[in-house]
Structure 1
Amino acid sequence: MGIVGSQLKPFNATAFHQGKFVEGITEETVKGKWGVFFFYPADFTFVCPTELEDLADIYGELQGLGVEVYSVSTDTHFSHKAWHDTSPAISKINYFMLGDQNHVLSNNFGVLREGVGLADRATFVTDPDGTIQLVEITPEGVGRNAAELLRKIKAAKYWREHPGQVCPAKWEEGAETLAPSIDLVGKI
């Protein structure tokens, strides 16, 4: 079975979140709302802070949609705090920064680089049932776009809330959707 449609596997992590350490973040505590697991290779690096800042800039809009964000690297929650305290870009973050020094999350999602101990640059979006609905993995030198992630989340939420409707390429909120049927075959 592919990863899309699979369930979150058990984990237990500690996060740095809004100036505090938060223990007991598990697969059960993230259920009930949409979740973004935003893996990146390491704290104190180069592309990573640009992506995390970009995500921080849309965090309020994501929360308004009922989405929580969990950035994840194989660093500790202590490292996340130190980075947050010293980097102007990272200081903007108000979402959870999970430590994955034991590699449970990176292994659960299949993004741990063998022999390196770092996670790939990967994004997973889970629905309120803990089912993985979206996946994006890029090479280390290619940063992600938070605006495109937001668009995809809106499409996934729409699809879940409107059975029988699907969102075509470049779909934006409020645009027309499709109702798959035999009448559409070969006519799009």
Structure 2
Amino acid sequence: MFKRLNTTVLGISTDSIYSHKIFTQTSPSGRKINYPLLSDRTQKVSKTYGVLNEDEGFAWRGAFIVDPEGKIQGWITNPQPIGRNIDELIRIIAALQFNRETGRGAQAGWKPGDPGIPTGWEYVGKY
């Protein structure tokens, strides 16, 4: 699905490359990963993106949507025991692309194929 959206996915964690290797070889979910896993052993990336729990030495589960110009357009951060909703991430990416192409907004519940709504101050409160 991400390929259809012309979107690159990177997995980044504070685990070592060796942990990633074992995870992708032994875990049923790890075997399904078809994108690069990057190691943030220095925790620099996690700190920069504000997901590092410095007290406990791990990163929260975060997903960041970065546009072609390198600007963060959306993010979701979950506590450690809660996984991310991939369907919602895909919806957000599709909605951002829709907005970029049409100038229209993607209201709550919007899905690809929906007409969206006009944006601008004159439309506030009308939808």
Equivalent of 1:144, from 81, 84, 97? 84
For 1:185 and 1:100, the matched residues in 2 are separated by 42
Q: CA deviation at 1:182?
A: 5.2
Q: CA RMSD in A?
A: 1.4
**Any idea what SS the aligned residue of 1:124 has?**
strand
Question: How many pairs align?
Answer: 127
1:67 match: 7
- Hey, which of these two has a bigger chunk of strand by percent? 1
Rounded to whole Å, the distance in 1 between the matches of 2:5 and 2:125 is 35
Runs of 4+ in 1 over 6 A off after TM superposition: none
**CA-CA distance at 1:181 after TM superposition:** 4.2
Q: Which runs of 5+ in 1 are unaligned?
A: 1-60
Displacement of 1:65: 1.2
**Which residue, 152, 159, 170 being the options, matches 2:109?**
170
String of CA shifts for 1:24-45, please: whole Å, max 9, x gaps.
xxxxxxxxxxxxxxxxxxxxxx
Over the matched positions of the two proteins, sequence identity in percent amounts to: 38
Aligned to 2:95, which of 155, 174, 181? 155
| Structure 2 stretches lacking a partner, 5+ long | none
CA displacement, residues 14-66 of structure 1 (integer Å, 9 cap, x when unaligned): xxxxxxxxxxxxxxxxxxxxxxxxxxxxxxxxxxxxxxxxxxxxxxx101211
Judged with a 3 Å threshold, the aligned counterparts in structure 2 of structure 1 residues 73 and 185 are, in CA distance, closer, same or farther, namely closer
C-alpha distance in 2 between matches for 1:84 and 1:186: 48
5 Å-filtered alignment, 1:29-178, equals: 61-163=1-103, 165-178=104-117
Higher relative contact order (CA 8 A, sep 6+): 1
Measured in 1, the distance between the counterparts of 2:121 and 2:6 equals 35
1:182 and 1:93 mapped to 2: Cα distance? 43
Q: Provide the rounded CA distance (Å) in 2 between the counterparts of 1:185 and 1:106.
A: 36
Separation (CA, whole Å) in 2 of partners of 1:173 and 1:183: 25
SS of residue in 1 equivalent to 2:8:
strand
Alpha-carbon spacing, 1:169–1:79, altered in 2? closer, same or farther (3 Å): same
Q: Structure 2 vs 1, CA of residues 178 and 79 (structure 1 numbering), >3 Å: closer, same or farther? A: same
